[in-house]
C-alpha cells in the first residue's frame, strides 16, 4: 500500500508490522461491507490510515483504520457520545478491525489556518459543547495520570535523561496533586489541538462551521481539556504565545489557571518522549511554564 510517510514509525515494531500486513485485507473488507468508493490515503496521517470515501448515495465520508493503541481505543465511543454536536459524526464502526466510517469535513481547513486569536474564539465556543458527563467505557484521567507517573521516570532514564531532573520532579508532583483533587468529571480529549479541528461549512449550520476530529478521550475535569491547545505549536510556539493561550482560555472558559498550568506541565512532559523519540518543543513548553514565576 502507498502509506503516508507519517506512518513509517509503525514498521519499527512487530505489532506495527502485523497491523500493516493486515491493512490491505481490512481495507477491502470494509469497502465491500459499506459499499464504499475509496480514494488514496490522506497524506497527513500519523496514527491511523484514513482515506476519503463515498457512500453509494454519493455522500462524502472518511474510512479510518486505527492503529491499535490504547489512547484511541474509545474514539468511536466518544464520537457516538457527542452524536455530531461539535464533532464529526460516526456513521458506522467495525470493532474487530478498529475501523471507523466517519462523515467528512468539507472543506476540511484546519483551525490553525486562522489567525491565533480567531482560532481561540473557535475553541472557546466549541469546548463547552464537548464537556458532557460520561462514565464507562472511558478511562478516568486519574487512572491515566497514574500511568504517566509510573512510566515517566523509566522513560527519562531510557532516553538518557534528555531534560533536567527538576522538570521531571515538578511534573510528577503536579500530576499527583491534580489527579486526586479534580472537579466535576466530563468527557475530555487529550489531543484536541488546532490540527484536529476542521472547517465543516458543508455540514448543517447548527453544527458547524468547525468540528473536532480524532479524539483521544478520557473522563476528567474541564481544566485538562485545554492542554493540547495551550501547548500545541500550531497557534504559535513561544513563551508569550503559550502563556497567552493559557490566560485567555482559562479566563474566558471560567477555568482555574493554575490547574490548567499544572496539567499542561504534567501531560506535556509525559508526551515529550515516545520510545526512542524526544520531542524538544514539548520540553520547551514545560520549561516556559515552570519558569514563568
Active site residues: 191
Cell numbers placing 199: 472547517
CB 39 within 8 A of CB 53: yes
Residue 54's DSSP bridge partners are: 37, 60
Cell numbers placing 208: 458547524
CB 187 within 8 A of CB 132: yes
Cell numbers placing 184: 466535576
Q: How far apart are CA 264 and CA 274, in angstroms?
A: 17
Q: How far apart are CA 274 and CA 71, in angstroms?
A: 13
In sequence order, what are the residues at sequence separation of 6 or more whose Cβ sits closer than 8 angstroms to the Cβ of residue 43? 4, 5, 6
Q: How far apart are CA 116 and CA 6, in angstroms?
A: 26
CB 223 within 8 A of CB 259: yes
Q: What are the angstrom distances between the C-alpha of 76 and each of 94, 188, 199, 220?
A: 10, 14, 20, 18
CA 276 to chain CA centroid, Å, is: 21
Q: Which residues of 272-285 are buried (b: 16+ CB within 10 A; e: fewer)?
A: bbeeeeeeeebbbb
Query: With left for phi above 0 and alpha for psi between -120 and 50, is residue 170 left, alpha or beta?
Result: alpha
In terms of Cβ atoms closer than 10 Å to its own Cβ (0-12, 13-18, 19+), residue 189 is buried
Amino acid at each position: 500500500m502507498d502509506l503516508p510517510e507519517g506512518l513509517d514509525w509503525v514498521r519499527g515494531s512487530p505489532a506495527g508490522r502485523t497491523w500493516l500486513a493486515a491493512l490491505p485485507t481490512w481495507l477491502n473488507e470494509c469497502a465491500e461491507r459499506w459499499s464504499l468508493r475509496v480514494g488514496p490515503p490522506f497524506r497527513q496521517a500519523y496514527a491511523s490510515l484514513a482515506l476519503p470515501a463515498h457512500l453509494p448515495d454519493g455522500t462524502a465520508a472518511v474510512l479510518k483504520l486505527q492503529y491499535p493503541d490504547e489512547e484511541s481505543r474509545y474514539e468511536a465511543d466518544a464520537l457516538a457520545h457527542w452524536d455530531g454536536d461539535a464533532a464529526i459524526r460516526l456513521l458506522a464502526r467495525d470493532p474487530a478491525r478498529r475501523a471507523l466510517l466517519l462523515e467528512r469535513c468539507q472543506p476540511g481547513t484546519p483551525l490553525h489556518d486562522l489567525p491565533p486569536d480567531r482560532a481561540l474564539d473557535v475553541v472557546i465556543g466549541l469546548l463547552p459543547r464537548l464537556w458532557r458527563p460520561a462514565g464507562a467505557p472511558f478511562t478516568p484521567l486519574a487512572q491515566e495520570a497514574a500511568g504517566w507517573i509510573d512510566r515517566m521516570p523509566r522513560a527519562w532514564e531510557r532516553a538518557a535523561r534528555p531534560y533536567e531532573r527538576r522538570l521531571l520532579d515538578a511534573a510528577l508532583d503536579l500530576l499527583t496533586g491534580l489527579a486526586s483533587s479534580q472537579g466535576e468529571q466530563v468527557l475530555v480529549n487529550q489531543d484536541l489541538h488546532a490540527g484536529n479541528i476542521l472547517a465543516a461549512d458543508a455540514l448543517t449550520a447548527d453544527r458547524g462551521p468547525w468540528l473536532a476530529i480524532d479524539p483521544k478521550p478520557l473522563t476528567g475535569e474541564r481544566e485538562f481539556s485545554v492542554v493540547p491547545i495551550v501547548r500545541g505549536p500550531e497557534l504559535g510556539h513561544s513563551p508569550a504565545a503559550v502563556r497567552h493561550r493559557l490566560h485567555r482560555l482559562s479566563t474566558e472558559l471560567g477555568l482555574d489557571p493554575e490547574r490548567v498550568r499544572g496539567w499542561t506541565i504534567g501531560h506535556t512532559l509525559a508526551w515529550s518522549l515516545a520510545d526512542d523519540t524526544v520531542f524538544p518543543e514539548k520540553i520547551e513548553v514545560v520549561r516556559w511554564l515552570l519558569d514563568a514565576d
